[in-house]
Amino acid sequence: MIERKTKYNLLYDLYQDLLTDKQKQFTELYFHDDLSFAEIAEEFAISRQGVYEHIKRTERLLDEYEEKLQLLAKELRLNELTCQLEDAVNQLNDQGLDQIKNLINEIKAIE
Question: Could you report the per-residue pLDDT of 60-89, keeping only the tens digit for each?
Answer: 999 999 999 999 999 999 989 988 888 887
- For residues 1-27, average pLDDT: 94
Q: Which fold has domain 4-69?
A: Arc Repressor Mutant, subunit A (1.10.10)
pLDDT computed for residue 1 by the predictor: 62
Q: Is 80 exceeded by the pLDDT of residue 111? A: no
**Per-domain boundaries in the chain:** 4-69, 73-109
13-19 long-range contacts, CB within 8 A, separation 24+:
14/65, 14/66, 14/71, 14/72, 14/75, 15/61, 15/62, 15/65, 15/66, 15/69, 15/71, 18/61, 18/65, 19/58, 19/61
pLDDT computed for residue 103 by the predictor: 85
- For residues 19-25, average pLDDT: 96
pTM tops 0.85: no
Cα first-last separation, the chain: 22
